[in-house]
Amino acid sequence: MNQAVILAAGEGQRLRPFTANKPKVMLVIAGKPILQYVVESLAQNGIRNIVLVVGYRREQIFDCLGSGAQFGVNINYIIQERQLGTAHALAQVKDVTENEFLVISGDNLIEADTIAQFVNTEPESLIVKRTGNPSGYGVVTIENNKVKEIVEKPGVVKSNAVNTGIYAFTRDIFNFIENQLDIPDVLNTMIAKGYPVSVQETNGLWLDVVYPWDILNLNDVILRRIKGNLGGTIESGVSLNGLVSVGRDTLLRSGSYMVGPAVIGNNCDIGPGVCILPATSIGDNVVISPFSTIKNSVIGNDVDIGPGCIIQDSIIDNGCVIKGHFSACSGPADIKINEHRLVNIGAILGEGCNLASNVVAQPGVILGNHCQVQALKVISGRLPDKSLVF
């Protein structure tokens, strides 16, 4: 199979505030957008012909991937003006697909080995993965290695096999789409009409990003696969333990303590006396002032973190300015995003937030984009974009 269709048009509303200004596929994990990992996995399997269905804030995808030449692929962009569903997105590529092609989601973390197991499979087929919590996915009932039925988020779970959204199709799929909006519905129609759909099971890496805290899970998984790279300037007295990647023109000042896996981007100024603990990703142009500690967190680009801050299990988006002695400690939090979820989390900060000194963030706080918080405040719950806390 020589062609892949990547579905990358959606917004990802449950991932707000991070997707208010960027599409879900452009969320950065360990220094790269999720979509880039998908493209690289396809390229590693020799799939060079890529059709990319884009929609929401698509200019950011154009700017990042371009023609695909830098990744050794050729990208043909197709625009889905209204993001109505996966089958609707697939219908947009009818005129540019080969007789056989893969379909893959641009917002799932998929390693090359997972695709390698599937690249020569016979269409029509899909990949499933066994999971201990299938109820939040499309649950696949299997009979004699064929799909019997796909039920989205069932009330009664009949199987622990979930649909990964990775398919091998022929152009026959277009004969069944009609007015249906989602691919599982199309497959159920095909099956009802006697058209068999095969199943292949994978044990490989496949992770979905649905909620903001999923970013931390993906970050942890990717960081465990990084290679150490020490760019920039590392002063004497810096302690590096485990796999730590340091970008070019970054300065690690004396007395700082780094425990990998961790990634620090380009042109950062870290320390002195800063502690970076495992499962932490730091973007480009980040300043972290003396005696701050960051653990299991994702810090975006152009972030300025003042002295004496403690940040755990947190996600801080691009352009935030945080003054000294900010505390974002982790703890159990009941967060409602469509449904209640009990998660262990620190703080979630959208783009361009400005926090004055000695702010304390309660576990699970979600601060919208461009919020301002005055000194000595305790923030909790969910605050909309451009909130002012005084």
Domain locations along the chain: 3-210, 222-389
Residue 337: HSE in the Cβ half-sphere, 13 Å Cα cutoff: 20
Return the amino acid letter for 217: N
Judge whether residue 18 has pLDDT over 90. Answer: yes
User: 334 pLDDT band (50/70/90 cuts)?
Assistant: confident
* Fold for the domain defined by 222-389: UDP N-Acetylglucosamine Acyltransferase; domain 1 (2.160.10)
Give residue 319's pLDDT: 96
Q: Please tell me the least confidently modeled range out of 83-92, 123-132, 199-208.
A: 199-208
Specify the residue for token string 């380009």: 266
Homologous superfamily in CATH for domain 3-210: Spore Coat Polysaccharide Biosynthesis Protein SpsA; Chain A (3.90.550.10)
Would you say how long the chain is, in residues? 390
| Cα atoms in the Cβ-side hemisphere of radius 13 Å centred on 300 | 21
The pLDDT of 324-334, averaged and rounded, is: 91
Q: Which DSSP category does 204 fall into?
A: S
**pTM of the predicted structure, to 2 decimals:** 0.89
DSSP track, 315-372: EE-TT-EE-TT-EE--EEEEEEESEEEEEEE-EEE-TT-EE-TT-EEPTTEEE-TT-E
* CA atoms of 301 and 206, how far apart (whole Å): 26
190 has pLDDT over 80:
yes
Structure token digits, residue 287 = 């300043």
Neighbouring C-alpha atoms within 13 Å toward the C-beta of 246: 22
Dihedral sign computed on CA atoms, order 385, 107, 301, 239: positive
Beta-carbon contacts of residue 90 (< 8 Å; ≥ 6 apart) = 5, 7, 53, 103, 173, 174, 177, 183
Contact 129, 111 (CB under 8 A): no
Percent over 90 (pLDDT), the chain: 61
For residues 286-309, give the mean pLDDT.
97
